[in-house]
Amino acid sequence: MKLEARNISVAINGANIVSNASLTVNTGELVGLIGPNGAGKSTLLKAMLGLRPRDSGDIFLDGADFLAHPPATRARKVAFLPQERHVEWRLPSRDIVMLGRYPHRDRFGGPTPEDRAAVARALDAVDGHAIADRPVSVLSGGERTRILLARALAVEAPLLLADEPITALDPYHQLHVMEILRERTRAGAGILAVIHDLPLAARFMDRLILMHAGRIVADGPPSEVLTEANLAGAYRIAALSSTNAGETFVLPWTRRS
């Protein structure tokens, strides 16, 4: 399955936030969407899901107009983890994860055994059973991130768009989430994730898409995207790079004027 954005442009209050951006994500690959703050990454994700109006461009799922499908069908095909993590509800965290099963349920039906099994698998994936019965409103930021990721995983959609999935997580859980995402793609899912951590992006992602000033300026394997010229042009930094156990990492090191 392939989700494709073609020539997406989005303007907000007269300012061009995304300009003529095109990208694809296929099942079986883990793709990182990177770029400095304000590059347009989150806006592009929302435009791809129909959550943000587009000024131009099209979204296709396997060659057909993705946004022409009913919302429930779209939700079964492409799950979403938003950047916003604020939750006011005092529902148990397990119930929040169960919301991920909503696209699969009959309008008036309760959770099925399949729904409960999917929730259990999602909680397993994020190591969330210990906090599953606590109200989500009292969780720490990192715990809430894990529960909301579990909600997205519980959909068990073939594609997942994740906006900063490791935000507010400690290093242990950052690594854990990156391992989860990689395992999901190895099992056949396709994931496009906004990520700011360049060392983890270089290590875990199959492909990186670099945005700068609303435009996609590079798309390819991490070694071809995280070049000295791209890092200087988009991020205004210089970085160190090396390998460990056969995996490459890039470490931001100095700012450039």
pLDDT, tens digit, 9 for 90 and up, residues 102-122 = 999 877 778 999 999 999 999
In 5-70, which residue ranges form alpha helices assigned H by DSSP? 41-49
pLDDT for position 247: 83
Average confidence score pLDDT of the chain:
94
State the CATH architecture for 2-255. 3-Layer(aba) Sandwich (3.40)
* Stretch 11-15: mean pLDDT: 93
pLDDT of residue 161: 98
pLDDT digits (tens, 9 = 90+) for 69-115: 999 899 999 999 998 877 777 889 999 999 999 999 877 778 999 99
CB-based contact 183:175 (threshold 8 Å)? no
Q: Which of 26-35, 44-53, 86-95, 144-153 has the lowest mean pLDDT?
A: 86-95
The model's pLDDT over 161-176, given as tens digits with 9 standing for 90+, comes to: 999 999 888 999 999 9
- Please report the pLDDT score of residue 242 as a whole number: 86
Neighbours of 68 (CB within 10 A): 11
- Write b or e for each residue in 123-161: b if 16 or more Cβ atoms lie within 10 A of its Cβ, otherwise e: bebbebeebbeeebeebeebbbbbbbbbbbbbbbbbbbb
The pLDDT value given to residue 159: 98
For the segment 194-199, the average pLDDT, to the nearest whole number, is 96
d(CA 49, CA 30): 18
**Residue carrying the six token digits 């729904």:** 115
Say how far apart CA 35 and CA 67 lie, in whole Å: 26
* Mean pLDDT along residues 180-208: 96
Domain ranges in the chain are 2-255
The pLDDT assigned to 105 comes to 81
- What's the burial of 99, exposed, middle or buried (CB within 10 Å: 0-12/13-18/19+)? middle
pLDDT classification of 212: cutoffs 50, 70, 90:
very high
Residue 21 is predicted with a pLDDT of 98
